[in-house]
Structure 1
Amino acid sequence: MASAITTLAADAPTLSAANTGFMLICSALVMLMTPGLAFFYGGMVRVKSSLNMLMMSFISLGIVTILWVLYGFSLAFGTDAGSLIGWNSDYVGLSGIGITELWDGYTIPVYVFAVFQLMFAVITPALISGALADRVKFGAWVLFTGLWVTVVYFPVAHWVWGAGGWLFELGVIDFAGGTAVHINAGAAALGVILVIGKRVGFKKDPMRPHSLPLVMLGAGLLWFGWFGFNAGSWLGNDDGVGAVMFVNTQVATAAAMLAWLGYEKLRHGSFTTLGAASGAVAGLVAITPSGGAVSPLGAIAVGAIAGVLCAMAVGLKYKFGYDDSLDVVGVHLVGGVAGSLLVGLFATGGVQSDVAGLFYGGGLEQLGKQAIGVFAVLAYSLVVSAVLAFLLDKTIGMRVTEDVEVAGIDQVEHAETAYDFSGAGGGAASRNTAAPAPAASKKVDA
């Protein structure tokens, strides 16, 4: 008996300084993605609502952080209750956790796991905001964010990643958030815009990005931070799976960008910077659920397929008449669905698990499981998000007035504008404050 106890003690995980440091860096990288998303979205809107777009992303860092500490971590990763939600009173306020207490079966502290997952919770509602540009009251958005993470994100995170969650137990593969993050956010965006309606001038007025350099900067920050998002989701790299995910993240993103640009050139005749940025994000989205299950060649296929599908999907809003301002549905929902389902085709069975997809002799079983996960999350998020938006719209109102929307939401909602042009270009303000010209100069001019 004594030898058995000694053996068990020897096999128990111990804190790894290397993995802990790695995960703290990954957490910081994922945090950087939210400001990156703010730049990405902020550059894509018209100048009169660019600050509002930045704030709709940035405020998530405040709201979700507090709710996560108070009860979100407990709901998402506490002890399972009925396969639908978790709860652990020790996680409430993060008050009952020892500083060296390890996360279940891993070599990192619970605190590190909690802060890593917090950053996922932060960026997910921020993704939704891109679909609502130009027309939502900031106070209503703040309230929606708090309600949405509580009744949608926290439960879905438990379904997908929590021990005992029903999709986790079913065997749905979602390495880093194809269902829990991207399908969840994309479906929510669709639900909300169907309730609040279109922008004034949709399909009539030009609504071009005001700053493509900001868009490219945001896309670059997202690409950079996504390495932490994806590679960090293995919670260490003792067996090399995280390294494979890192490589696949780069490969799929490159393939998707090239595929989007190729489609764009054939369809519209140009290679655009907006297309390059959007294609890169589409690849990042698609490889998020699948990158731990496929080879680098599979990652090329996943990225290329997602790049083309998302490039095609962004135009559907004009055909069907829903105003997805910055293509959250076209990129995050479609890209998340594609990446999640492609696991069932391209999983090699030799990376994160021995589960093989159809093209590697695994049959259709995993594809079926992936489809259940995809459509369960899509349906739940779509319906509940639409209900939340409807209730808020009928009580406090979700939309600004038409006059505010036309004039620009920044000045009314935030009492600021993104750029100050009052002293630029020799306008009236600069002439009025300029020193008078010397008499000699006046004589020469005359």
Structure 2
Amino acid sequence: MLEIILQRLSRNSKRCLTSHHWVNPRREVLRYQAVRTMATTHELPMDLPIIDLDLFLAQPHDSPGVAAECRKAAEALVTYGALLLHDSRVSGRDNDVFLDLLEDYFAQPGDALKRDERPELSYQIGATLENTEKPKCAVDEPCLDVIKRLAPDQRPLDIAGHQPDPKCRFFWKMVEKPPYETEFPGLNVENVVPEAPHIRQRWAPTMNQWGNSMKNAVSCLAEMAAAGLGLPESTFKDAGRYGPHVLAPTSSDLQKYGQKDTILAGFHTDLNFLTIHGRSRYPGLHIWARNTGKRIPVKIPPGNYLLVQAGKQLEHLTGGLVKAGYHEVVVNDKTVETIERRKKEFPDRPLVRISSTFFWHLSSDFELKPIPELSERAKKLRIEQLNLGRDEGEEVEYPAMKVGQQVQSELRHIALMAS
């Protein structure tokens, strides 16, 4: 049986790759066996389902085990809006190298960072400095209504008077160029490479190594989710083949913004299709589960695990069957504890919180409109939720539009694109 799994893993793991990242099949079988043991013998971290990508890579996609795992992935996105993904191809070492590089980058003087800004391109490549991006929820009535319907002890930190986020960001596009002329060239532009020699020489290899790891993982998950929802496996992946996918780390200066209850990124959802996170060195990310409305402090297990949340494009395409996941980044007690510990253990390292984040998008020219069968299921689910006493607010309309139009609209709401 072990040899059969080895053969299948060697053959099937190529299907989701978008880079030259490769794995040792025998080692991955052992890891696969280990994660199955963890998932069945231990309490799930954060009460979120663990989806085993190794199973999807190792077995035929028409096998009962893979079909069940795909349904589990889809159900997790519908029920929670989030899940944990296990992928043995992912290297914790790659994430550490990535975090080191971004800490060094954002420790540079402000003038050096400002050279990498591209406001004329709506900050869709290069750097975005602190106090630029605004949380949409601060002035968005549907989002404020979501907050009102949460239990008082489960609400995010108050963003009513919150000014632009004090976080910085860097966008590094990881795009397959479309074989046609896009209607949205501003969303599909060449990357910015920092100028400082000690940064520049490490930049592209490190960003591409870690970015491809997350891109490969989330691309496979898109296939699993489609199959689990009863669609052809390639539905979402094909729709996102030429998407403006972006490795999008954020940076928060904890020397300046390390006080408890500081909002680093206000309560919001992501505008893209799926967001995938690696481990950060500092706690502070909170997500909200759709089914309970409870705030969940994120704790990604060590090793080959990633956190995935649904974004607005997935919500739109499913007609609200899947809802985009809300989240915030704040300085909480655990953040403060980690700050003090790292000051002692790594006194020479910048005190900067880097998020290990990747945004997976649908193609800018793709026609974004609800898939009819999923939209019907969304309406039935809404009625079921109401019967259970779970009010999800006003029914949302999802008009047909190009993905690029949806992105531009969202960018205007968060002050990254001129009206």
- Could you state the TM-score of these two structures normalised by the residue count of structure 1? 0.27
More helix by share: 1
More strand by share: 2
- Could you state the TM-score of these two structures normalised by the residue count of structure 2? 0.28
Larger-gyration structure (1/2): 1
